[in-house]
Amino acid sequence: MIAVIQRVTEASVTIEKKVKSAIGVGFMLLIGIVEEDQQEDIEWLSRKVVNMRLFPDDAGVMNKSLLDIDGEVLVISQFTLHASTKKGNRPSYIKAAKPEIAVPLYEAFKEQISLDLGKPIGSGEFGADMKVSLVNDGPVTILIDTKDKK
């Protein structure tokens, strides 16, 4: 499972010209799922995200987590994170999990991060044509791959 974490002052996702979810200060997460992903990946990634210290303390040092600042989360599924660009100019998405595997894992990740955060989160809709807007704060953008824990 790959996650792109973007620290934001605000973010939203619109589907068919209607805002589905919007958040204030927190993280906008893009999540890419492969067939090998399991519950262990979901739990590890969720804990990592909610405890990641990317928000400034009183001295301006990135030393506070989502939990410390009561931040919000917007989760967006994005199979293109697993694109292979090794051959040619058209990316291959063969590594990305098929919907029958990805959807339950995506739903489980949303539930887990909401549980770990202690409040509801915002999300996109798997497979939908989404318009995502955000104000990246910093900018701060971090890439995490659950297959690269060490």
Structure tokens at 9: 């002052």
Q: What residues are labeled active site? A: 78-80
User: How far is Cα 46 from Cα 29, in angstroms, rounded to an integer?
Assistant: 11
User: How far is Cα 30 from Cα 18, in angstroms, rounded to an integer?
Assistant: 20
Among 49, 16, 23, 46, smallest CA distance to 135 is for 23
Residue pair 131/20 in contact by the 8 Å Cβ criterion: no
Residue pair 66/49 in contact by the 8 Å Cβ criterion: yes
